[in-house]
Amino acid sequence: MDADKDSVEFTAYEQELQLVKLDDVGAPGGLLNDGFNAFNDTGLALDHGSDGSLIHKPMPSFRFKQLDNDTDLNNSPTESQKQVHLENLMKNSRKQMSLRLHQGRVELAGYGDEYGYDDFNVLPDAFTQPHYSHCGSDEVVHFLGPAENIKTLFKLPYSQGRVSLAIHRVGNTLVVDGDVDEKDIPKGFDACNEVLRINHSQSTSSDSFFPPNLYENFIYQSTQTNPLTDVVAETQTKFTPDKKKRSKIQKHDGRQLPNVIPAFQRTFKWKFQDMKMILGSDVQLFSNKDHPAVSLKLHDVDKDMSLCTALDYYLDNVIANIPELAICMHSKGYVRGYQLIQTRDIPYLNGTSQPLFDIQDVNMNATMLFKFLQQNCSEANGTYWLYREEGNCSLRLYDVGMLSKGRQRKWKYMMAMLCYRFASRAARLIQSATETPTLQFRLRLRQRELLATCLELLEEIRRDESRSKAQDSICATVAEQMADTYLREVYPGLISAEKIDALVKAKQHLLHSIRVLEGCLVDYLRDRDMTSLAAAEDVAENVEDDEDDVGSFVVDEVLRLKLKHSTTCMHLATIYMESSSYSKMLESMHEACMFIPVDVIPVPKHPSTVVESRYFFQKIVQDLDFGGVTGVKSQKSSFKSCHSMEECRACVLETIGDMASVIDHDDSVDVLPLITTFNIVSGGVIPTEHYFGTLDNAFKHIQSLHSFSKPMGHDIRENLLNLAFFSYLRALDPPVNAELFFVLMKKLGNASNELGKYFLRRNDLSRAYLWFEGGSVIFEAIEDGVNVALLYANLANLHKVLAERNSFDAQSHYIQAIELCQKAHAQLKQCKANSELHAKVTGELALTYLVWAVQLSMIPTENISPILEKFNKALNLYVELGDQRQIAATHYQMASFYSQRAHNGSNYFGAIEVGKTFVIIHQELAQLYASSNKVEDIEHAVLVMLNTFDAYNKIQLLPSQEQEALNLIAPNILIKIQGYLKQIIRTTSSKAAQSKTDMFKTMYRETIYKMEEPLAQILFTLRNLYQ
C-alpha cells in the first residue's frame, strides 16, 4: 500500500531510452534520422598535430620497471614504506616528453631541453597546445565531471550492470555527478540508514574485479626507485577489530562528514564530436627508456578479457591521449608476463580479427546518449537521476526536484542527501573549471543553492521529528559547509562591503551549526547516562569507554566550530577597522569572545602602569617566551585561523592593539569602550565576581560600567598608544605559538617606537629615550636586526637633540649618537638589509657629524683640525650616498666656517675658497632650495646668492685666470637673483606679508636699474636692502 502511495506521490519525469547494441549496427538508419548527423571514428581517437606528432597533454609520469615472472603481488608494504615510496616518486617524477607518430610507431621528440626550455610547462605553443580548441572563459562547456562517470555512459550499451548517476544542470553545462545509492531511496523512513556516506565507491563488474591491495602492490613494485632508497616490502598484517568494536567504529565514522573531497590528480579538456568536456581523472602515466608514455593495467589471466574492460582501457588512453597500454598478466597474485599494445589496437585484445567493440558504434551510442541528456535535463539548476536496474536494458531519467515536493519525509530525505552529495563533490569540480570563470562562478552558486535546499529539507524533517539525531548532526555539517562557501568568497581583491556581507552570513551559519551540534551533545550525554544505569556493570564499562570516545569527538567538533566562528568574527572586525567602522568592529570583537572561557585569562604579570625604567623592558624579555608551543603551519591565505581559545584571546588583544594604533585620537566616542574591552579580555582590572562561564557573560555585565575604562595617559593619544602596547603585551601571556609570538613581539616593539616618537614631539626627551631604548631591547630579544638598527637611528637622532639642549654634555651625546649609528650599520650588515636602510642610517650618521661640526665651528678655537675632520667625514658620507643637496649644504657650511677664520689664512681662502668653485657651489645650493617652490626656501636661495658677494668683493686678489672666470658667470648670477625675486613676488599674495613683498619688489627694481654696475656693488646694495 505504501509503495503505491509512493509511486503516486513521486510524479517525477521518467523516460525509457533503448540504446544501440552491437548486433544492431547493421541497421542504424532509424537512429540517424532522429536529428543526429553521421560521424566517423574521429570521435574517439588520439589527437595528432598537423605534422603527425602525437599531442601530449601535460601530466607527470613515473618510471616503471617490468616485473619478473612469478613475482608475488600478495605481500603488502607497510604504511611507512608506502609513504617514503610515494614521496620519492613525486620528487623524481619526470617531465613528460613530446611524442611523434612516425611510420606507424611512436618516437621520442624531446621534452623541450633542445629548444632552450627547462620545463615542459613553458614550451612554446607549437609544442604544447593541442589542435583542438580550448574552452576559454566565454566558451560553452557541455559536460563536466569525473572521467569515470563519463566512461560509465560510454559503456552503458555493452553491459547490463546497475547504473545510478546524478546529473545537474548548471547554466549550459551538465555535471555528471557520482553514483547514487538506492539506499538513499528508502522503502520506509524508519528503516533507512540515516548515516550519510560521502565517499561511495564505484561498483566494479565481476569480470574485472580483483582485490584492491593487489593493484596497489603491483604499482608499488612496478615503479622505479633509487636503489639506495629501496625498502624491502614487509607483509603487513591487517588489524581486524572484533565485531562489536567494528560496529562502533563504523557508526562513529559514519557521522563524520568530510568538508573537503580530494582534488583530481589532473584535469583534461576533451572534445568529443561537437561537445566540449572538462574531465577530472586520476589515471597515472608511466614511462621507461623504451616507452616514454604508457598506461599500466593488471589483468587476471584466469579470466577472459571482457568488452567493458577493454573499452575502459581504451577510453582511459584516449581521454589522456596515451599512445600505449601495458597489461601485466597475473594468476592468483603471481606475475605471468606482459602484453604491450598500441591504443588503437586495444579493441583487438581478444586476439581475433573481430574486435571486441567497434569504435563507430561506441561513438554513435555515446553521442545519442549525450544528446538525449542535453535535451531532457533542461530545467535551469535542475537535478536528475539516471538509473538502470541490473539486468535491465531500459534506462530511466527522473527529475529529482519533484522529491522535495512530496509530502512523505523519505523523499525529502533523499533529496536532501542528493543535494548534499553533489555540493560536497562540487569542490573539486569547481577546481577543475579554473579556466572557465563563468562556469566556475555558476558552480559555486549551485553548490550554495544545493546546501541551502538540503538545510531547508532537513529543517522540515527536524520539525516533524524533534528526536532525529542523525538529521541534527547532518544539519550542523551542512550549515558549516554553507559558511565555507561564503568564506571562500573573501579574497584580497574583493571590496569591503562584499567581504562584510560574506563574513556576516558565514558567521550566522557557523553559529547555527554550533547550536545544533551542542543540542546533539546534550542529547547524547543524556542517552549515555541512561544506558550506563540500565546496563550490567562489566558491559556498561566497555560501552561507556567506546561512547566516551564519541562524546569526546563531538566535544572537539563543537570546540573547532567555536574557534572557526571566533576566527570569522576577528576577520570581520579587521575589515571594519580598515573601513574605520570602529563601533561595528567592537561588536565583532565581542562576538569573537563569545565562547572564550574565563579560565584561560591569567593574572597579568606586568600591570598597566607608567613605565619608568629600562628594567621594565628587560623583565618583559626575561618573562616572555613562546614556551615551545607548537604552531600550526600557516597557509597562504589572508584568513588567520585560531587553534585554541588561548590563541583566540591573543588574537582579540592583538586586534585591540591594532585598532588603538590606527584610530583617530579625535574619535573619543570609541576610546572608552575599547579600553573597557581590553580590561575585560586582558583581566586584572575587573573584579573576579564578574567573571563566570565565558567572556560573553562578562561583557553583558560590565560593558555599561565605564568606571572600568581606566585612563592610561594624559591625553587620548597617549591613552591609545599605551593601550596598543599593553594589548600586545597581554596577548603574549599565556605563551603562544612561535609564529604568533614573533608577530606580537614585533608589534610590541613598534608600539614602543611610536610612544618614543610621541614623547619626542612633546619634548619629553627622557621618556622618549626610555621608549626608544625599550623598543630596541624588545627587537634584540627576537633578533630583528632591521628594527634594532632603526631604533638605534632614532636614539642617535635623540642624542643630537639632547646635545643641542645641553652644551655641557654635547660631546658625550654626539659620541653616543655616532656609536649608535655604527651599531645600526653592523646590525644591517649582519641581517643583509637592503641598500635603502643602509642609506637611511648612513644619512643619520653624516648628519650627526655635520651638526657636531657646525656646533664646534661656533666656538672660538685655534685648533680647527677636529672641526675639519668632522666636516670631511660628513662630506664623504654624503658623497657615498650621492645626496647632491646635502653635499652642497656641507660645502656651504664649510665655506662659512672658513670665512669666519679669514685672519688665519686669508691668502689660502682668497685664492682658493672664494674663487669660481665657491660661487658655483652657492649657485647649486640656491638652485636646490628654489626647487621646492616654497616662499621661505626661495628666499633662502636669494640669501645664498647674495653671499657670493664675499667672492666678488675680493676679486682683485685672485689670479687673472680666476678673475676672468668669475666675470664670465657674473651675468648669470644677476639673472638668477632676478628670477628668484620675481618668483617670490608672484607667490606671495597675503596682506600680512605685504611689507616683505614691497622689500623684494624694491630689490628687484635695483637689479634692473643697476645692471651696468659691477656685480659686487649690486650685491652689496641688495644685502643692505634685505632686512
pLDDT in tens, 376-399: 888 888 888 888 888 777 788 888
- What is the spatial distance between Cα 152 and Cα 312, in angstroms, rounded to a whole number? 9
To the question of pTM greater than 0.85 for the whole model, the response is no
> Cell 558504434 identifies what position?
361
Query: What contacts 211, CB < 8 A, 6 or more positions away?
Result: none
Last residue of a domain, one of 405, 425, 449: 405
Cα of 91 vs its chain's centroid, Å: 24
pLDDT of residue 7: 37
What element of type H or E holds 330? strand 324-331
Selected residue with higher pLDDT from 433 and 346: 346
Q: Is the dihedral of CA 83, 84, 90, 94 positive or negative?
A: negative
Q: Is the domain of 86 the same as that of 212?
A: yes
Q: Is the domain of 886 the same as that of 989?
A: no
Last residue of a domain, one of 728, 747, 766: 747
Q: Is the domain of 936 the same as that of 895?
A: no
- Cα torsion 935, 940, 942, 946 to 10°: value is 160
Least confident of 417-431, 493-507, 760-774, 973-987: 417-431
Query: Is 305 part of any domain?
Result: yes
Cβ–Cβ under 8 Å, residues 119 and 112: yes
User: How does DSSP classify residue 143?
Assistant: E
- What is the spatial distance between Cα 51 and Cα 107, in angstroms, rounded to a whole number? 13
What grid cell was written down for 648?
Answer: 583566540
pLDDT of residue 238: 40
Strand 324-331, strand 334-342: pairing: antiparallel
Query: Is 790 part of any domain?
Result: yes
Q: Is the domain of 22 the same as that of 117?
A: yes
Residue 249 pLDDT > 60: no
Cβ–Cβ under 8 Å, residues 842 and 879: no
Q: Is the domain of 889 the same as that of 909?
A: no
- What is the spatial distance between Cα 158 and Cα 43, in angstroms, rounded to a whole number? 18
Q: Is the domain of 896 the same as that of 911?
A: no
Q: Is the domain of 876 the same as that of 915?
A: no
Q: Is the domain of 906 the same as that of 891?
A: no
Q: Which domain holds residue 816?
A: 783-900
Query: Is 855 part of any domain?
Result: yes
Type of residue numbered 285: L
Query: Is 890 part of any domain?
Result: yes
Q: Is the domain of 241 the same as that of 295?
A: yes
Least confident of 159-168, 223-232, 702-711, 903-912: 903-912
By residue count, the chain amounts to 1027
Cβ–Cβ under 8 Å, residues 104 and 48: no
pLDDT of residue 285: 79
Give the CA distances from residue 922 to residues 868, 951, 1027, in Å, rounded to whole numbers and listed in that order.
Answer: 20, 11, 21
Q: Is the domain of 668 the same as that of 803?
A: no
Considering only CA atoms, give the Rg of the chain: 41
Query: Is 529 part of any domain?
Result: no
Select from 772, 801, 797 the least CA-distant residue to 787.
772
Structural domain total, the chain:
4
Type of residue numbered 603: V
- What is the spatial distance between Cα 442 and Cα 901, in angstroms, rounded to a whole number? 84
- What is the spatial distance between Cα 183 and Cα 638, in angstroms, rounded to a whole number? 42
Residue 952 pLDDT > 60: yes
Q: Is the domain of 172 the same as that of 42?
A: yes
Q: pLDDT tier at 713 (50, 70, 90 boundaries)?
A: low
- Cα torsion 41, 46, 52, 58 to 10°: value is 160
Q: Is the dihedral of CA 493, 498, 500, 504 positive or negative?
A: negative
Query: Is 99 part of any domain?
Result: yes
Alpha carbons within 13 angstroms on the beta-carbon side of residue 737 total 16
Other CB atoms within 10 A of residue 873 CB: 18
Cβ–Cβ under 8 Å, residues 755 and 592: no
- What is the spatial distance between Cα 396 and Cα 18, in angstroms, rounded to a whole number? 10
pLDDT of residue 483: 92
pLDDT in tens, 741-781: 999 999 999 999 999 999 988 889 999 999 999 999 999 99
- What is the spatial distance between Cα 117 and Cα 124, in angstroms, rounded to a whole number? 9
pLDDT of residue 573: 92
- What is the spatial distance between Cα 460 and Cα 346, in angstroms, rounded to a whole number? 53
Select from 220, 335, 339, 343 the least CA-distant residue to 293.
343
pLDDT in tens, 823-845: 998 988 888 888 888 899 999 99
pLDDT of residue 138: 53
Last residue of a domain, one of 843, 868, 900: 900
Query: Is 188 part of any domain?
Result: yes
Query: Is 768 part of any domain?
Result: no
Q: Is the domain of 809 the same as that of 938?
A: no
pLDDT in tens, 722-732: 999 999 999 99
Give the SS3 label for residue 398: strand
Average pLDDT over residues 316-325: 87
